[in-house]
Amino acid sequence: MSLKCPKCGAVNPDIASFCWNDGEKLATTGVSPFRFSDGSTATTIAELAIQIERHVVYDSKPVLRSDSLAHLYRGDFSAWLSSIGRGDIAMIARQIVAQESDPNIGLGKFLANLAGEIHQASSEQQRTSINPKDGAVMILIPAGEFLMGSADNEGYRNENPQRKVYLDAYYIDKFEVTNVQYREFMKATGHEPPRDWSDYDTRRLNHPVVGISWHDAIAYAEWAGKRLPTEAEWEKAARGADGRKYPWGNMPPDTGGQYRANYKVGKYGAADGYSNTSPVGSFPLGASPYGVMDMAGNVWEWCADWYDSGYYREAPTKNPPGPSSGRHRVLRGGAWLNDDIFYLRCAARGWHAPTLTFNYVGLRCVQNLKPRS
């Protein structure tokens, strides 16, 4: 079954190759309805979801089709969600529910987002790899340009100017490094424990490790055969190519009463479910365009670069390596103790002295692609 793009007329083999650009155009021009190659149409997101269900999602699982379709025809997204099982498809469905409830997202934008999600899920196999040393799931960030920093009237001045930056392809940890992983590193190397380690190692095994200096982070990465991300690599993995404000898009992290990050919100900072760190990957709606988790919130993450507030004015636009010297190292992403969502933005920059340790700073690693033999 194929889809026909109403803007350019292209007939695509599946929704994963739906034209992104035309999806964006639909959002602004309001072109509707969306026509399928069998003559059926969709004018609302609910109808669209039904068409997608018919044409794409259940092609490989026909047994489930009639049951879950019935939920959709009744407009019962919650029942649909619970009828379709686990894994990536369930995550896509949650995104449908979340986005359907956001009046600012038109049909076209929704389609474009959904196409990206399905494409992501269907190509997940080639896009991920498992690091044999620490068991981390790593996601491939493809080579190409992205928008780094903030326009002059947005963000802090240290995020200006906004530039197009090209990066070679790399892998990045899907999750922040956990206490379990850090414990393996200590066992193997005899590295000293993080500050207040006894508070964390038994009760919070799947939480991000904290209380580690930049030097500790470097030692962990080297043990695992990886390295810390450059500031540019971190930012691209968080926001994709389109300059969005947060990993999930531009809407605030609590839109529709659903939380997309662990930050300090509500009583004890726990309206999102956690007053301190959360287990990694607890906010599936907060995934980046590449599926990287907790890029906003939970813990700040050490990057490889020295911090320089004016670096963007002089940095190369291809694989910027960071300043050659400095006093502080870069931190990214915000954490559970931040109540200002300004720090959750992908472009926001933090910094600390590389020797210091905090209960809100951890790490994740990156790895170069292996050269082809």
Contacts with Ca ion by CB under 5 A lie at 262, 269, 272, 274, 294, 298, 333
3-state secondary structure of 255: helix
Q: How far is the CB of 238 from Ca ion (least distance, A)?
A: 9
| Residue whose CB is less far from Ca ion, 36 or 263 | 263
Q: What is the DSSP pairing of strand 128-130 with strand 3-4?
A: unpaired
Q: How far is the CB of 274 from Ca ion (least distance, A)?
A: 4
| Residue whose CB is less far from Ca ion, 91 or 271 | 271
Q: How far is the CB of 7 from Ca ion (least distance, A)?
A: 37
| Residue whose CB is less far from Ca ion, 105 or 209 | 209
Cis check: omega of the bond before 284, within 30 degrees of 0: no
Q: How far is the CB of 332 from Ca ion (least distance, A)?
A: 8
Q: How far is the CB of 196 from Ca ion (least distance, A)?
A: 19
| Residue whose CB is less far from Ca ion, 18 or 274 | 274
Q: What is the DSSP pairing of strand 3-4 with strand 11-12?
A: antiparallel
3-state secondary structure of 25: helix
Q: How far is the CB of 271 from Ca ion (least distance, A)?
A: 7
Q: How far is the CB of 298 from Ca ion (least distance, A)?
A: 4
| Residue whose CB is less far from Ca ion, 2 or 275 | 275
Closest-approach residue to Ca ion (CB): 333
CA atoms of 149 and 146, how far apart (whole Å): 10
Cis check: omega of the bond before 33, within 30 degrees of 0: yes
CA atoms of 255 and 100, how far apart (whole Å): 12
> Which residues are paired to 144 by β-bridges?
167
Alpha-helical segments (H) within the chain: 20-29, 45-52, 62-73, 77-83, 88-100, 107-122, 124-127, 179-189, 197-200, 214-223, 231-239
Report whether 365 contacts 226 (CB < 8 A).
yes
Report whether 177 contacts 134 (CB < 8 A).
yes
| Residue whose CB is less far from Ca ion, 15 or 292 | 292
Q: What b/e string do you get for 70-104 counting C-beta neighbours within 10 Å, with b at 16 or more?
A: ebbeeeebeebbebbeeeebebbbebbbbbbeeee
Structure tokens at 337: 């103790």
| Residue whose CB is less far from Ca ion, 34 or 263 | 263
Q: How far is the CB of 186 from Ca ion (least distance, A)?
A: 22
Q: How far is the CB of 267 from Ca ion (least distance, A)?
A: 10
Structure tokens at 72: 């959709």
| Residue whose CB is less far from Ca ion, 49 or 304 | 304
| Residue whose CB is less far from Ca ion, 167 or 299 | 299
CA atoms of 358 and 205, how far apart (whole Å): 18
Report whether 345 contacts 250 (CB < 8 A).
no
